[in-house]
Homo-oligomer: A and B are copies of this chain.
Amino acid sequence: MSITITAFERSPDGGMGLARDTRVRWALEEAGLPYAVRPVSFSAMKAPAHLAIHPFGQIPTYEEGELVLFESGAIIFHIAAHHPGLLPEDSNARARAVMWMFAALNTVEPPILELATAKFQEGGKSWSRERLPLVAERIRQRLGQLSARLGDAEWLDGQFSAGDLTMVSVLLRSRPSGILDEFPRLAAYVARGEARPAYQRAFADQQAFNTGRSPAA
């Protein structure tokens, strides 16, 4: 059954790989699944046809036959649940991999997104300069705790899993602010994720998509 995802027609990051389609592309590459990408413009994203697929008017979405999904976490989980390589067989290890997906999206990503909101939606406000360091501090608190848990391990819980894929994708969004690099263990963890061939393919494809250039050979 053919798979189609949606992505920004042109990502606001210009192809840095920080839009949420990249994590879905990565999961599809890890699973070895071919897929098509349908671009959605900012105006189309808020129009009825797209809202019928994604009630919150965002990307990515995932279509596979009758199944229509939104929310990158749910899409990654669906791919991981139906193809080998992204979730452990052992029931307890599987529960922990899912736990790291939720931790990435519900505990680590919110302060990172809050900083983006503070910069881009409230950057012109009089309070912005005083407030940004408070938000950055909330990111540092989470990354410090995560770094302590990761320690010197390669991945969060044994083998690479959908939990790591999601966490690395979320952490990547804290790199432009410089905060990721304050945590050398996390920066190295993210680099291990980026070094995976499946990530490399996903990154090159989204970059080509967003810049209009062919992926590097």
Contact = CB atoms under 8 A, between A and B. Distances in A.
Contacts of A51: 145, 148
A116 to B, nearest CB: 12
Contact of A102 (B74, B114, B121, B142): B74
B99 A69 contact: yes
User: In terms of DSSP, what is the predominant structure of the interface of chain A?
Assistant: helix
Interface string A108-132: 0110011000000110011100110
A74 B114 CA distance: 23
Sorting the interface of chain A by its residue count into under 10, 10 to 19, 20 to 34 or 35 or more gives 35 or more
A106 B106 contact: yes
A74 B56 contact: no
A96 B53 CA distance: 12
5 contacts: A51-B148, A72-B102, A77-B102, A110-B110, A125-B131
Interface of A: 51, 55-58, 66-67, 69-74, 77-78, 81, 92, 95-96, 98-99, 101-103, 105-107, 109-110, 113-114, 121-122, 125-127, 130-131, 134, 142, 145-146, 148-149
Given A51-B148, A105-B106, 7 more contacts: A55-B146, A56-B146, A67-B95, A72-B102, A74-B101, A77-B95, A125-B130
